């Protein structure tokens, strides 16, 4: 369960960290505009080139989180709190933990 919670926390903090990096590079680029103009263009190019990689990594993190949740749910344990869940489960209804009341869809997405 700990690995799921670490991945989940990282997955939820990742967009904010990336936004902070992009805002930081924007501020740095604005400062470089008057001191070293090619640096501004370099930062713009790096920002645009890395945007696809950042989005791809976010999707991979999301897929990993859902995969781990499905694996843990299959063992009959709640991925969030680690307590045993009911083993009889209707496939059309989402998984619901009675202890922490977290709901997991069939894909592993928690709401």
Contacts of 7 (CB under 8 A, 6+ apart): 61, 64, 65, 68
**Min separation Cβ 2 and Zn ion, Å:** 14
Q: Which DSSP state fits 103?
A: E
Instruction: Please report, as ranges, the residues that interact with Zn ion according to CB under 5 A.
Output: 78, 80-81, 97, 99-100
**Min separation Cβ 4 and Zn ion, Å:** 11
Q: Are 77 and 1 in contact (CB under 8 A)?
A: yes
Nearer to Zn ion, 33 or 101 (CB): 101
Nearer to Zn ion, 54 or 81 (CB): 81
């Amino acid at each position: 369960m700990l690995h799921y919670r670490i991945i989940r926390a990282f997955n939820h903090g990742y967009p904010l960290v990336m936004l902070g990096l992009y805002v930081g590079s924007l501020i740095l680029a604005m400062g470089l505009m008057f001191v070293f103009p090619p640096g501004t263009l370099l930062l713009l190019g790096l920002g645009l080139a890395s945007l696809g990689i950042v989005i791809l990594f976010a999707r991979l993190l999301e897929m990993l989180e859902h995969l781990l949740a499905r694996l843990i749910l299959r063992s009959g344990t709640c991925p969030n709190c680690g307590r045993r869940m009911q083993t009889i489960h209707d496939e059309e209804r989402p998984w619901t933990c009675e202890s922490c009341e977290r709901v997991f869809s069939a894909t592993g997405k928690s709401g």
